[in-house]
Chain A
């Protein structure tokens, strides 16, 4: 009975628990994960003091950057990060926020976030152009990171855009294709113990099969039944919810990194400093995009895909097997979305919400480039990635997505056909 009451109270407490910590433990606690540019930071001391000034407990972040301090009851706590225990080259993003006041609710574990940055690249208003990082170095660094993000978005956007072009489906479950790929790779890498490169290869193949299967057994059937586009859009929302919670069920609510390439020390290339894996990842992303682009331009099936995206009825009447083309698009789209998910997992962490979180940016990239045009999606995505990272020169990092989404809305307002799209003829 008590358990039921707790569950119900928490339930009445609202969806916030589901979203931040879907599994509410019985005891209240504070916890967090310390990361610098996606890498866990260990050996940092965190101390917790109750509202009345009584110390509660200390913790030190582990190899995965995680720390946790159980607290006796719900209430307000002061959490302090001991900056002297931060490793060299890592600093708090906001110097004045080494102590945070946080509220712990009944029966919930509260996540506490300390934003860490490489020493020198401090947030806030003042760019440190004395000493190490000049303004232009920072711009170069952000441009690099923007390309990195943009390429991942582009990988995801290619599939989304081609599916939209060929079937008219605005697929809200496309983000889950990314999560699926990332989770597959996690399974093979961390659970089975295969090296990440092989795990990634296997996952890309499985992602392709997943995409193929979705069209073969689900979307294709719905199309043949004559489901309307709006209905299919909402069905895709249902599918997205379903898959997301399946991921949550098996994976849990916490993000986790892959077993390989984890704590790679950064290297300096000109003004840019990043872990070598980022350079390799970008190389692979570029390579895949070029291959897909060339395939669209040069191969028979690629031309057919573009023809179908342009005008399905005309393509069908000129002897193209539209269903086959769509199936191939789903297969390739699923495979490259899988790759995008793995790359995203590599630069952030694998989590059940990762695909959904990036989906809006993918939409932004696709709409920016013009719905349904594959190359537009490519350009649009890179613009979105660059914009998001470079906007942090002016806006706080936590609001960088806001800027990108605002731009999306403005593009809709002034150029609804997208950057590369054409005006449509009515009637």
Chain B
């Protein structure tokens, strides 16, 4: 039955993307997140400048791009951790510009971080419980009356235990989160995000710093999210992983979305190749490309000097 639903969910996602244009900002049949003209500048540097982007509901979308493409900054803006200079974006039709991070999370758009933020001096279980929403005991006055929140706490604990079991962290239940390995922390962070009950899960480099032995199980967990009806948007560098699990890929370079497309063909897109070669010095390149890159670098340096002056 599980396998069956896998195919249908995946098939549904793939069907939604079938026949879509490969242009940046192409319209999706049922977008959960719609972004318009989002701009973020640091001094004179434009870190993010996304004209239009839609994320399909129920799919796994990968956000890739060379270092410094603005992926993390874009993530920070969408989730309210950084402010945008211009633009607007809507999650399930709700405008989120200027909404603080905790409210964004409450609407059902929950993120994780590139550097894991396991709360190391809390136990694994406490980490999990923290994720639950609308807790009565989190109100100052009701906190003083244990009877008012005990029952809810038990329900939360039960839910947390189910998730811990699924993520194979149940044996670590009462350990301090600080004692977990890097990969286990990633798992904990994902499980904790699920305690919020999100519709859209945003993962910032879920594979960074994870022991290869754990990679497969992490991948399976990400796929499971889609099977449960959630939408996933993730930033990743590892192209193998992107090819393996994503239904659709969005490519960013120098702050802008430069291409979109299915994972198996996106890397052969000329714009993507250019973007990556422009940033990776170790890739083999022709004399013209080298020349071009040199000029670009010089122009950049000049701009920087001008700005300082």
Q: Which residues of A contact B (CB under 8 A)?
A: 422-423, 425-427
Contact = CB atoms under 8 A, between A and B. Distances in A.
A425 B114 contact: no
Nearest to A423: B42
A427 B42 contact: no
Contacts of B75: 427
Contacts of B42: 423, 425
Contacts of A427: 72-73, 75-76, 81-82, 113-114
B43 interface: yes
Contacts of A426: 76, 81-82
A427 B114 CA distance: 8
Interface residues of B, number: 11
A426 B43 CA distance: 14
Interface of B: 42-43, 47, 72-73, 75-76, 81-82, 113-114
Question: Which 5 A/B pairs are nearest by Cβ-Cβ distance?
Answer: A427-B72, A427-B76, A426-B82, A425-B42, A426-B76
Contacts of A423: 42-43
A307 B114 CA distance: 26
Contacts of B73: 425, 427
Contact of A422 (B43, B76, B82): B43
A423 B82 CA distance: 12
A422 B41 CA distance: 12
Contacts of A425: 42, 47, 73
Contacts of B43: 422-423
Nearest to A426: B82
Given A423-B42, A425-B73, A427-B81, 14 more contacts: A422-B43, A423-B43, A425-B42, A425-B47, A426-B76, A426-B81, A426-B82, A427-B72, A427-B73, A427-B75, A427-B76, A427-B82, A427-B113, A427-B114
Nearest to A422: B43
A426 B75 CA distance: 11
A422 B43 CA distance: 8
A427 B73 CA distance: 7
A423 B43 CA distance: 8
Nearest to B40: A425
A235 B113 CA distance: 32
Contacts of A422: 43
A245 B238 CA distance: 59
B74 to A, nearest CB: 10
Nearest to A424: B42
10 contacts: A422-B43, A423-B42, A425-B42, A425-B47, A426-B76, A426-B82, A427-B81, A427-B82, A427-B113, A427-B114
A423 B73 CA distance: 14
A161 B105 CA distance: 38
A425 B40 CA distance: 11
Nearest to B81: A426
A422 B75 CA distance: 22
A209 B27 CA distance: 68
Interface centre among A423, A425, A426 (most CB of B within 10 A): A425
B254 to A, nearest CB: 16
Nearest to A425: B42
B26 to A, nearest CB: 28
A426 B113 CA distance: 12
A174 B43 CA distance: 33
A425 B114 CA distance: 15
A89 B42 CA distance: 57
Contacts of B82: 426-427
Contacts of B47: 425
A427 B78 CA distance: 13
B215 to A, nearest CB: 23
A424 B42 CA distance: 8
Nearest to B43: A422
A425 B113 CA distance: 15
Contacts of B76: 426-427
A281 B82 CA distance: 47
A202 B63 CA distance: 62
Most B-side CB within 10 Å, residue of A422, A423, A427: A427
A270 B81 CA distance: 56
A73 B30 CA distance: 89
A208 B47 CA distance: 43
A189 to B, nearest CB: 46
A427 B68 CA distance: 12
A425 B73 CA distance: 9
Nearest to B76: A427
B234 to A, nearest CB: 15
